[in-house]
Chain A
Amino acid sequence: MSKHPIRLTVNGGQYELAVEPHRTLLDVVREELRLTGSKEGCGTGDCGACSMIVDGRLVTSCLMLAVEADGSDIQTIEGLACDGRLHPLQQAFIDYGAVQCGFCTPGMIMAAKALLDSDPHPSFEEVQRGLAGNLCRCTGYTKIIEAVMVAARQEAL
């Protein structure tokens, strides 16, 4: 199978790659760009561990072919910290005990970021709904939702 040339902007960096059509965006970001923060949990779009923000919209990158992302602007967990300072969501996840094993955390934080980007002051129920596509098997979600609510309040300052 022939490779297709694609251009991606990932966390502000430009990449030109040649990829086989059957490779997912998640595969290419992890294996070619070596950005391994985004995780593959289920591989079928059910768990959200692979969540990335593509052209401003939250997607499960395990279901997006890399060739379909050609020309897109992509944000992954690696792009959130700025000048050595964690993003308010990352700091709140640490401060409020929202991380246990950590496997769901990158996707969870990207989902939370997408939510706050579109709605800076969500209600508890809106946070629940915004994170409904992200599974966590450790925390029981309470601390995650608390962390997102705290980060939302901080960003308002």
Chain B
Amino acid sequence: MRPFDYFAPETLDEAISILRRRGDGGRLLAGGTDLVVRMKEGGLRPPYVVSLRKLSELRGIEFSEAEGLRIGAMTDMATIASSPIIRERFPILADGAALVGSVQTRNMATVGGNLCNAAPSADMAPPLLAVDAVARIAGAQGWRDVPLQEFFLAPGETVLQNGDILVELRVPTPPRGSGGFYLRHTPRQEMDIAVVGVGALVTLPNGDIEQARVALGAVAPVPMRAHQAEAVLAGKPVSDEVIARAAAIASQEAQPISDVRGSAAFRRELVRVLTERSLRGAVERAGASAP
């Protein structure tokens, strides 16, 4: 690793002013499981690094019916996966967090880092897209809210500009009768990266699908929603046929590439299979959550 200047500010304002003063090329350090690897082996040589570990504004998980869920960007995967409120009300988020890396990775890697690294395969992206998460960003120009759908621009690239810090994710309280589910395909059970990941959320207030979300990972330059598949599901009673149809459409909406983890054709087929399974898991959980 090349030497760099290191800052560990204690307030958000101090962090933003360091970024403004030092300018382009600096990196924000969260859990380090992506950044430190890239600085060791990926040729990344930032002139300075700003650690986020002392910023209390980026910590914590809170929930209320009125305000919904708030997850601080520095919350690690193990904490998300084991959070009682997340497991009870947003199990789709626990699904994603529990799949990342190993025990060690989950103790270090943060949700903010997972999103800001902007890998198309990020396991927290489809679950958070499915629950309509909004990214709260602090920057030199003040605060702004960006729906997660608009957060990713390209592999490794987000809407964050120099001087911006992702502070937290806000998730609205899901309507009554909602259920969500995330799963992925990997050749190995642990310590692997998704070949395809699919998150689904359905709302079934009285047996019919009032609304549905289908979010896909690792099949496009950025994590994406399958809007046409969602439209097919909306307003229909739950049936094997409608789930199969939505899954077939999602597989057409995906824009996969062929790489070392799988061919484009294989990924398309995986989207179909995993969308079916993910929707079934979501329907089951929606049933379990109904009063």
Contacts and interface: CB of A to CB of B under 8 A. Distances in A.
User: Does A pair with B?
Assistant: yes
Interface of A: 1-2, 4, 20-24, 43-46, 48, 51, 57-60, 63-65, 67-68, 70, 111, 114-115, 129-130, 132-134
Contacts of A64: 32, 36, 108
Contacts of B8: 67-68, 70
Contacts, number: 88
Given A44-B37, A64-B32, A21 B3 contact: yes
B55 to A, nearest CB: 13
Given A48-B102, A68-B29, A133-B103, A63 B108 contact: yes
B104 A133 contact: yes
Given A4-B6, A22-B3, A22-B4, A133 B190 contact: yes
Interface string B15-34: 00000000000000100110
B144 interface: no
A58 B33 contact: no
Contacts of B33: 45, 60, 63
Contacts of B6: 4, 21, 65, 67
A129 B104 CA distance: 11
Interface of B: 1-6, 8, 29, 32-33, 36-37, 39-41, 49, 51, 53, 78, 101-105, 107-108, 189-191
B103 A58 contact: yes
Given A48-B102, A63-B33, A132-B102, 20 more contacts: A1-B3, A1-B5, A4-B6, A43-B40, A44-B41, A45-B105, A58-B103, A60-B33, A64-B32, A65-B29, A65-B32, A67-B51, A68-B8, A68-B51, A68-B53, A111-B104, A132-B103, A133-B102, A133-B103, A133-B105
B152 to A, nearest CB: 24
Q: Which of A1, A4, A45 has the most CB of B within 10 A?
A: A45
B12 to A, nearest CB: 18
Contacts of A133: 101-105, 190-191
A134 B104 CA distance: 9
B191 A46 contact: yes
A33 to B, nearest CB: 19
A63 B37 contact: yes
B3 A60 contact: no
Nearest to A114: B103
Nearest to B53: A68
For the complex of A and B, the 8 pairs showing the least CB-CB separation, nearest first, are A133-B102, A21-B6, A132-B190, A1-B3, A22-B1, A57-B107, A60-B104, A133-B104
